[in-house]
Structure formats: C-alpha cells, structure tokens
C-alpha cells in the first residue's frame, strides 16, 4: 500500500522549504518513522540531502517532463515507507507558461495529482498578520490543492510570533510549527544552490541538529495526521539505457544523475560501471558506451587537467564506442575550461568546446530537444524533455550542432550541444539534462 504523504511548499524560493523538509525527515526518522522523500521539479542537490536524512533515495517528480502515469509509477518507490514527504520548488504555483506532459511544472500539480495535502513554509521576516493573508491566497488559489496548515519561519521574538499567530487564527489556518530565527540552521550554498551533500563532512551531525530544532518547534503528530493521498495510474515506459554496459563517471565533479534514470537503465538490463575521473580513472574497457553526467567540473578543473590516464583512456575508448556528456560532462569533453579566476585548464579534447566561468551568466529552464543524429538509446529526431541550469559561457563551439532545442515556450535555444566523429564512433555533448522522452501528443 502507498503511504500517505504531505508536500512542503512556500510562496517563494528562499522561504526555508529545504531546511524544514530536512528537519521533518530527520526528526521523524529519529522517532522510528520510515520517510520516503520526493522533490518536485528538476533538481539534483536537494534530493541528495533528502536521501542522507531519510536513508532512502529521494526521487524527482516533474509535471512538465513526466506523464501522470510516469509520476504515479515513480511514486511507487514509497511502498514500504510509513510517510511521504515531498519538497516543492520555487513558489507553490510557479511554473512555465505553456504546459508540458502533465502541466507547467508547478509543485501544486504534483500535490493535486497524488492527493498530498500542502504545508506551506511562511517566511515571516518583515511582516506579522500579513503573513496570514499570503497563506490565505495560497489556500484559495486552487480548490484541488488543499492547504492543510503552515510552518512559520524566521520569527524574530515571542511578540512577533504572537502577532503572526493572531493573523492565522483570524484566517482559520492551522499553525503546525513556529521556527525562531536561528543562525547556523541553514545549509551552505553556492551558485547552483546548496553545496552538495557529499561535500559536508559533518552532514550527519548537521541533519541531526536541524531535526532536533524542527522537532522542538513543530507538532510532529499533527503533521503526520494531516497526510493523505490517492491512487494513481502507475505504468509508463522507462528511459531506455544507452547500452548494456555503461561506463558512468561518478565522483564530486560528476554527480548530477537522476535516480530514476539509473533505475530505468538497470530495469532495461544495463550494467552500470562507475569510474572516477578525479582519481585519474578511465572508463571500463568492457563498457559499450561512456556517459559523463553533470556536476561541478569548474571546481575541480585543475585535477581534471592533470588526470592524464583518464584523458588517455577516454580518448582510446572514444575511437570505437560512443561517449556522451551532459552539462558538466559536456564541458569536460571539450578542449578547455576557463575557471572563475581566469585560468584556462585543458579538458579531454574530444570536442572543440571552450567554456568559461570568468564571464558568468545564468542559463536556466526546461528544454525540449530533438537530436539530429541517432544517440545511444534514441533515434534521430526523438523528442526528449529535460532542463538546463548552468553559469558557463560558451567561448567557442566549432563542432556540428547535436540537436534542435527549444524552451518551454517553443522558442529556439542557442545551446544546441555538439558532436564529433572519431574513427566512426560519435562523441557528443549538450548542456541539456535528460529527464524523460516526450510523448508524441505533447510535441505536435
């Protein structure tokens, strides 16, 4: 049986959703509750923290990129848990202007589809009773997305809390927790969001502290009692593996891989063979394809440039078998990468791409891509849904374009990716992170 669930949302980004979500997971786990975490939308970093707090892999659910039955199928990983806690993205109703597979990518669509009541985290900084008016707007915006209560965040004093609570009492919205402003509770951040979970040596201690903080200021019993859900169709085609033996770059520089993608590959009969470029390792010579996922190559550019064995092994592999890189992996396949301090570092050189972090500019959004040639697992012209999120600037991209790419409004995107043939094998790369194949009826 599927356990009941709740969705932690907010009026906007920066309200404290991730801290509250992690605190609830850690606090309930400390009580012996098995929590299955989920993350709404395209995100690699928050789910890694969820997984560390819960001891269960957090899975992304995306209404723009996934069909309802795909979302329902992925939700089945919660079977065997006691409770689902899903974290929203941005504001509760925020999404793109044009719907994709299920909707616009708004967290509210996941709550409506799976029947999870919403608990809103309200940042009370600089306001008092008005916070209730904001929550009242969330409660009334969509009748199929019930607001079950709120957790107040960043309360400055007992007097401030009393004023805020008075507003919620007048609005008739339950207050399920009240978190005072406290330094040291939030997790460290960098340009793509939180620092990665694996980079924090004191992560277990930090999560325990956040859990204790939330447990001391929230009504955990009331929060569990609010949980709900509804049955959902749970069958959908999986993402096909790019080969039956996949050499997968996997370390601090290449860590952005969706759990559902790896699960699909394994379900499709593939064996995944991890290797670490940072440890100067090359792809397994028995692999049929090599995949370099996204991550933070710019933070490790010096070590990658010095990894001669990795570069030589990858070059030899690419002579006879396909190699593909996503975002950070794409940059690592290029000729060079300029770090934020202006230093150029040699990369693998399998593509001519030159990128720079000295000139930062955000590239963010959903993408629909159609490759111009067959790629491992996909035919030419296949419609693929994914997203792009990076701060790199392209200095040079001399190779042929890999795909025709549009954003969620169907406007053309300049970042097409590129490819190069080496003795008959294809090396390819793109800033596009694959989430799922698109269904034909949503791309016509």
Catalytic residue list? 327
Could you tell me the strand order of the sheet in which 5-9 lies?
A: 59-61, 35-40, 83-87, 5-9, 118-123, 147-155, 175-180
The terminus-to-terminus CA distance of the chain in angstroms comes to 37
Residues 357, 260, 110, 14: is their CA dihedral positive or negative? negative
CA distance 201 to 210: 16
- How far apart CA 225 and CA 22 sit, in angstroms, is 19
As a dihedral over the C-alpha atoms of residue 358, residue 359, residue 364, residue 369, rounded to 10 degrees, the angle is -90
Cβ neighbours of residue 140 closer than 8 Å, sequence gap 6 or more: none
User: Residue written as tokens 């969706």?
Assistant: 258
Instruction: Mention every residue, 6+ apart, whose C-beta is less than 8 A from residue 127.
Output: 164
| Spatial contact of 147 and 173, defined as CB atoms under 8 Å apart | yes
* Closest CA relative to residue 281, chosen from 248, 310, 246: 310
Closest CA to 246 of 292, 283, 287, 282: 287
**Euclidean distance between CA atoms 10 and 222, whole angstroms:** 19
What does the block give as tokens for 319?
């002579």
């Amino acid at each position: 049986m599927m356990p009941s669930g709740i969705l932690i949302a907010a009026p906007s980004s920066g309200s404290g959703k991730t801290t509250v979500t992690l605190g609830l997971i850690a606090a309930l786990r400390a009580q012996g509750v098995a929590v299955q975490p989920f993350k709404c939308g395209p995100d690699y970093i928050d789910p890694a923290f969820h997984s560390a707090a819960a001891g269960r892999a957090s899975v992304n659910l995306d209404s723009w990129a996934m069909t309802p039955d795909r979302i329902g199928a992925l939700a089945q990983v919660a079977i065997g848990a006691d409770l689902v806690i899903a974290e929203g993205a941005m504001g509760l109703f925020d999404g793109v202007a044009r719907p994709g597979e299920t909707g616009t990518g708004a967290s509210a669509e996941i709550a409506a589809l799976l029947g999870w009541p919403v608990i809103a985290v309200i940042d009370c900084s600089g306001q008092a009773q008005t916070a209730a008016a904001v929550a009242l707007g969330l409660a009334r915006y969509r009748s199929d997305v019930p607001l079950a209560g709120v957790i107040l965040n960043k309360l400055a004093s007992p007097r401030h809390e009393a004023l805020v609570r008075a507003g919620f009492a007048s609005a008739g919205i339950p207050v399920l927790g009240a978190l005072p402003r406290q330094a040291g509770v939030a997790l460290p951040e960098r340009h793509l969001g939180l620092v990665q979970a694996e980079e924090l040596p004191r992560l277990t201690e930090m999560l325990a502290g956040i859990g204790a903080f939330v447990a001391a200021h929230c009504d955990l019993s009331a929060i569990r009692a609010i949980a709900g859900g509804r049955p959902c169709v749970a069958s959908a085609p999986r993402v096909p593996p790019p080969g039956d033996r996949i050499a997968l770059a996997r370390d601090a520089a290449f860590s952005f891989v969706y759990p559902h993608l790896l699960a699909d590959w394994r379900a499709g009969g593939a064996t995944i063979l991890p290797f670490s470029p940072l440890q100067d390792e090359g792809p397994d010579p028995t692999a049929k394809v090599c995949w370099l996922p996204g991550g933070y190559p710019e933070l490790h550019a010096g070590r990658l440039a010095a990894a001669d064995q990795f570069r030589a092994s990858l070059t030899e592999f690419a002579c006879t078998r396909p190699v593909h890189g996503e975002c950070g992996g794409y940059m690592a396949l290029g000729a060079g990468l300029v770090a934020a301090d202006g230093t150029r570092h040699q990369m693998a050189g399998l593509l001519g791409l030159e990128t720079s972090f000295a000139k930062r500019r955000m590239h963010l959004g959903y993408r629909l891509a159609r490759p111009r040639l067959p790629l491992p697992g996909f035919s030419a012209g296949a419609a693929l849904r994914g997203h792009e999120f990076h701060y790199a600037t392209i200095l040079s991209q001399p190779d042929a374009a890999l795909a025709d790419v549009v954003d969620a409004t169907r406007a053309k995107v300049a970042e097409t990716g590129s490819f190069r043939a080496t003795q008959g094998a294809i090396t390819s790369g793109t800033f596009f992170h694959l989430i799922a194949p698109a269904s034909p009826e949503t791309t016509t």
